[in-house]
Structure 1
Amino acid sequence: MMKCLRVMLSLVVILPLLSGCWDRQELNQLGIMLGLGVDRDGDMIKVSAQVVVPREVAKGQGTNATSVTQYQASARTLLEAIQKLTETSPRAIFMAHIRVLVFGEEFARKNGIYDVIEALLREPDVRPDYYVMVARKTTASNILNVLTPLENIPAEKLFNALDISAKSWAPTTTVTSDKLMQYILTPSMSPVITGVELVGNEEGSGETKNVESIKPPASLHFSGLSVFRKDKLIGWLDQDKSKGYNYIRDNVKSTIGPTQCPGGGYVTLKTLRTKTDHKVKMVRGEPQIHLKVNTISVIGSVDCEMEIGSMEAIKQLEELAQDRIVELMKGTVSLVRSKYKVDIFGFGQDIYHKHPKLYKREEKNWDKYFQNLDIKYEANVQIRRIGTLDNSFMKKAKE
């Protein structure tokens, strides 16, 4: 009797643990989507799914065909359109491994991106760590149709390239979907997303010849930062203004930039570390934002006749570099204030954390208040090394 009771109790404990595979999906029945594009199609949403072709990425099983394929469908809502992809795809679309989400420029301007971001965040199978970008002057479908060298999966190329670029090149930045949603929902914060542009022959971008030559007929380039008012695209920042934005937002990890020499030419500085501090001070009852950028740099190249082998010359270069960073930040704030009239820098949140009562008073009209906000800029550049050479040989070489 006791033995039967023990068996029954064991079954009661073990059986619930054996139900873990109730929602299993066989790998050979799934289409792994790595890139998702969203465009307008009249009043409907058009989705473009970049799906992996398993036999082409499996080692030793390729047939020299493309490693990915693209399926498209249009519907009233995003998830409906994704489900509709099964009309052409022989496999169910699996979204857990999305690497990039690309919005067409027209869609981002007219429809707004909130509904799409919310739908993907609500979907339990989708992880929110993919990068979001905007297709500049083209559609998301065209961006995801470009075959790329080095990386045989274009969506993986876009993800890795943006990740590396954001760490080593100041005009770009990475934004994940959860961070983007936070920006959209924050009352005094408008989103900024990196743009991607198709350069070259658009018609042949999806053909295998795009990866069969040293110089591909078509290529993908990151091109400026897109500015949003809430969830709708309203404009773009060029390279210098994008740099200024990233300095203000403390997004710059490392970069390379030219500093003009007093007598003409340039000295190229490589920034190793950068840190931007935001402080809020009250001056005559009004908030004042203090921005201070601290950078550690080294000299990369000298393309002028300036003698850099002295402390006086290094000090002069540091001051010139500081002026350049301040100029970039001022130029970006001035453009955004005059043209876009939205706070993309998070100044409202700086004031909220320091003086919440003042912020609450101005919250509803924050973009208007932002126009006259007092901002002070400061940069501190330290040049630690000048390389393995002291002065340039340019003067002797031209004699």
Structure 2
Amino acid sequence: MNKCLRLILCLSVLLPLLTGCWDRRELNELGIMLGLGVDKDGDMVRVSAQVVVPNEVSSKSGGGQGTPVTQYQASADTLFEAIQKLTETSPRRIFMAHIRILVFGEEYARKVGIYDVMEALMREPSARPDYYVMVARNTTASKVLDVLTPLDNIPAEKLFSSLDVSFKTWSPTTAITGDELLNHILTPGIQPAITGIEIVGDTKKSGSKDNISSISTPAKLNTTGLSVFRQDKLIGWLTEDESKGYNYIRDNVVSTVSHLPCRNSGEVTFKALRTKTKREAKVVNGLPIVNVSLKNVSSIGAVECDIHIGSMKTIRELERDSEEKLVELMQESVDSVRRKFHVDIFGFGQELYHADPKLFKTMEKDWDKHFENLDIRYKVNVQIKRVGTLDDSFKGEMKE
């Protein structure tokens, strides 16, 4: 009898734990959203969801008859109300666990601000924060997500992959994930900077298969400079060179290609193999100083001038000239941001906080004003390790 009683008690405790797949969702009941766009619609937020069309991307079904994705739109007072409202037109419940790209329309980013959307997505358990964030320049997020792209037939996947490759191989662009962006918004001593995306070409065919039926697509999606924010609102854009300087200071440059004018005429092209930047703040006589130290290892990609590239003297001259150019690039980026935007997007305030938390606390509320007069010192070390498979150019030996 005691054994039976113990068994019943054990079962009564264990059975409630064996709930099974209580939140199970069948794939044929879900609409997989890969791209999310947020725009301003009067006083409301308009959501654009780029959803995969399963039959068009499945190899078993043949596909190819229609577009690989479709877009659903809805407007509401809040983000998740708008997402839930998508079911008015979508036959499936929108599934958010696979978002690859989040695009803010420029008007929304300027006038409304992006914080509420970012917090809502971070609070949602089904939305992973590893998606990339972009700002649609001179257009809306819905139009960006409406462009069909070649090579990667799912536009959101193209945007993610293109930005991921670009920021690793081209210094003017950078990639920022959802959790990193929210951290920049909330952390004192740094303001956000986000890569922009624009539509180039004929937008009339951008959403149809005509856009991918020719070698040269009528409408293309191009990354374009960095957008500058004050807290969570867009206030302007950096040029290509200013974006390069920003990424060098922030240690975002993995690899890139750049050129340097020769001392006589022509140009030399460099390939950056490794780049490492350290930012360190110090307090001298009660005033903060930030040291920016950059180490760069490069190889020579092309020589379009009359120099003896096999000479160590020439290599040393190129290294010094490259060092001066990188210092100028970073300095001009900082000076331009000070002059036009008056915000610290470089994170110098964070470095001061790490060096002297008490001093930073006294400056925190007015840090952007202190940033305008901050003493920043640059030190660059460039090493040219390779000159390619040739020493000198054959240009001087060409027949007249």
With normalisation by structure 1, the TM-score equals 0.98
Spell out the pairing of 1:240-389 with structure 2 (5 A cutoff). Answer: 240-389=241-390
C-alpha displacement at 1:283, in angstroms?
A: 2.9
Equivalent residue number for residue 70 of structure 1: 71
Counterpart amino acid of residue 355 in structure 1: D
Structure 1 398/341 Cα, relative in aligned 2: closer, same or farther at 3 Å?
A: farther
What is the alpha-carbon root mean square deviation over aligned residues? 1.2
Determine the C-alpha separation between the residues in 2 that align with 1:208 and 1:16: 53
C-alpha displacement at 1:190, in angstroms?
A: 0.6
Equivalent residue number for residue 239 of structure 1: 240
C-alpha displacement at 1:10, in angstroms?
A: 5.0
Equivalent residue number for residue 52 of structure 1: 52
Equivalent residue number for residue 193 of structure 2: 192
CA deviation profile, 1:172-195 (whole Å, cap 9, x unmatched): 111111111111111221100000
Determine the C-alpha separation between the residues in 2 that align with 1:209 and 1:8: 68
Determine the C-alpha separation between the residues in 2 that align with 1:255 and 1:64: 40
C-alpha displacement at 1:277, in angstroms?
A: 1.1
Structure 1 residue 153 and structure 2 residue 154: aligned? yes
CA deviation profile, 1:11-47 (whole Å, cap 9, x unmatched): 3354234213111111100000000000111111111
Which segments of 5 or more consecutive residues in structure 2 lack a partner in the other structure? none
Determine the C-alpha separation between the residues in 1 that align with 2:117 and 2:281: 35
Structure 1 residue 162 and structure 2 residue 172: aligned? no
Determine the C-alpha separation between the residues in 2 that align with 1:360 and 1:133: 32
Deviates more, 1:137-146 or 1:277-286: 277-286
Structure 1 residue 112 and structure 2 residue 125: aligned? no
Counterpart amino acid of residue 387 in structure 1: G
Equivalent residue number for residue 39 of structure 2: 39
Determine the C-alpha separation between the residues in 1 that align with 2:299 and 2:159: 29
Structure 1 residue 133 and structure 2 residue 98: aligned? no
CA contact (8 A) 2:31 2:51 kept: yes
Determine the C-alpha separation between the residues in 1 that align with 2:209 and 2:345: 40
Counterpart amino acid of residue 250 in structure 1: D
CA deviation profile, 1:186-241 (whole Å, cap 9, x unmatched): 12211000001111111110010111111111111100000000000000011110
Equivalent residue number for residue 175 of structure 1: 176
Q: Secondary structure at the match of 1:358?
A: helix
C-alpha displacement at 1:121, in angstroms?
A: 0.7
Equivalent residue number for residue 23 of structure 1: 23
Counterpart amino acid of residue 259 in structure 1: L
CA deviation profile, 1:37-75 (whole Å, cap 9, x unmatched): 001111111110000001111113114211100000111
Q: Secondary structure at the match of 1:199?
A: strand
C-alpha displacement at 1:9, in angstroms?
A: 4.7
Q: Percent identity?
A: 63
CA contact (8 A) 2:98 2:128 kept: yes
Counterpart amino acid of residue 19 in structure 2: S
Structure 1 48/398 Cα, relative in aligned 2: closer, same or farther at 3 Å?
A: farther
CA deviation profile, 1:236-257 (whole Å, cap 9, x unmatched): 0111100000000011111110
CA contact (8 A) 2:281 2:348 kept: no
Determine the C-alpha separation between the residues in 2 that align with 1:46 and 1:195: 19
Counterpart amino acid of residue 23 in structure 1: D
C-alpha displacement at 1:6, in angstroms?
A: 5.6
Determine the C-alpha separation between the residues in 2 that align with 1:282 and 1:188: 16
Q: Which runs of 4+ in 1 moved over 4 A?
A: none
Structure 1 265/16 Cα, relative in aligned 2: closer, same or farther at 3 Å?
A: farther
Aligned pair count reads 399
